[in-house]
Structure 1
Amino acid sequence: MSGGRRFPASVYGRGDEPDVRFSLANERTYLAWIRTALALFAGGVALELLGGDLSPGLRHAASLVLVVSGVVLPALAWIGWSRTERALRLGQPLPASILGPVLGVLVTLAGVLIVLALVLP
């Protein structure tokens, strides 16, 4: 176990210190999900503000999907980071990530709404 207090204790209070390269790779992955969340959030805001020619209801729905995705994704990324870090510390197999499928569904939904907003009057 590592000495000292580190946050979150539910992760760092267990197991042994893993190879630093694996912990840093896990952190880089977490930060990549945060960048993705910022892009989704910005895209949703931009679509709402600049998508004037699109069907208002569908544009608003697509914007909402993107903004909500940008808000929810960091929480899911944190959960994924902590699950992976805990598995590394305990020498267990890495857990499957739910981020990819969830993000895929949400972006597909937003894309379908945007396409509908483009083709419908």
Structure 2
Amino acid sequence: MTAPPPDHEPDYRFTLANERTFLAWIRTALGLLAAGIAVRQFVPPFTVTGATSVLALACITLAATVAATSFPRWRRAQQAMRAGAPLPTSPMVAVLAAGVLMLAVLAAVLVIVG
């Protein structure tokens, strides 16, 4: 059995790039949160009862999911860089893409229905 590689400080450029990626995830979460609040406060009610609240809660739920997973993702990438290991993959890329797609489809259906 081989010993794990020693912990070493990665090139600061990679650390800063990892931090910028983390901050991009946080900005995305803040944008989704703002969208959810804006939908609830400023979008006139649709003909489907409660649809505005559902759309707003979907935005806010996706925002919370992105925010909750952004720090662990940053930490795993930082640990991998320190260990000289491959960067871990994250299912959040697919979750975010699918979530935004579902929000867009839901919004489009609500606009078409009225």
TM-score by length of 2: 0.87
| Pairwise CA RMSD | 1.5
Equivalent pairs: percent with the same residue? 37
Cα shift readout 1:53-104 (whole Å, capped 9, x = no counterpart): 4344222211111011111211211111011001000000111122211111
Matched residues, number: 108
1:1-121 to 2 correspondences below 5 Å: 15-55=7-47, 56-121=49-114
Structure 1 residue matching 2:71: 3-state secondary structure: helix
**Structure-2 separation of matches of 1:45 and 1:93:** 38
Where does structure 1 lack aligned partners over 5 or more consecutive residues?
1-13
Contact 1:59 1:113 in 2 (8 A): no
Distance 2:8 2:67 in 1: 26
Structure 1 stretches of 4+ with a deviation exceeding 4 A read: none
- 8 A Cα contact 2:45 2:52, kept in partner: no
Q: Which runs of 5+ in 2 are unaligned?
A: 1-5
